[in-house]
Amino acid sequence: MEHPGFTLWFTGLSGAGKSTVSGLVAARLRARGCKVEVLDGDVVRTHLSKGLGFSREDRDINIRRIGWVCEVLSRNGVAAIAAAISPYRAVRDEVRARIPNFVEIYMEAPLAVLAERDVKGLYRQALAGELKNFTGVDDPYEPPLQPEVTCYSDGRETPEQSAAKILAHLEARGWLPPAP
């Protein structure tokens, strides 16, 4: 079965599991024969958005660029996966409005949990005032109001359970055949 193109938009604070879960979902989609492209926020910033800073305007430009690429990919039958903090609701909603088959996935985890696991050491720096404009610390993060899927990366779900939840959502919408 050929799937329609769609966009999975992972949003959440730094360290919430966007890259981990999106990678699992991408691998499972490829195993089912889907065409998949992942646009990871960290990778996009080094290629597509090189030179942009972290002002609100620059963050919005970055998200609009990722959204445009997802729109083009989705229109051409690809499962586009964006994994970017995308902190501002208005720009996420703007991107959503342009992409017909859009699924917002909120990787939910409290700041305290993320600061505790702090894989990259960024929360420690931000909380110490050494890193400015850090989302969730001294720059806002606006959680989605009605995401299609919420994944709990604070320990309530494993990354594998989150990936399975997302695939089940795609199956329920008829965009993905049931697993063999």
Shortest CA distance to 79 belongs to which of 34, 139, 21, 20?
34
Options 14, 19, 74, 86, the catalytic residue: 86
Residue 14 known to be catalytic: no
Residue type, position 140, single letter: P
Number of other CB atoms surrounding residue 115 within 10 Å: 17
- Helix (H/G/I), strand (E/B), else coil: 174: coil
Question: Residues near 159 by Cβ (< 8 Å), separated by ≥ 6?
Answer: 17, 20, 21, 24, 153
| C-beta separation of 7 from 70 below 8 A | yes
Q: How many CA atoms lie within 13 A of 112 on its CB side?
A: 1
The residues annotated as belonging to the active site are 86
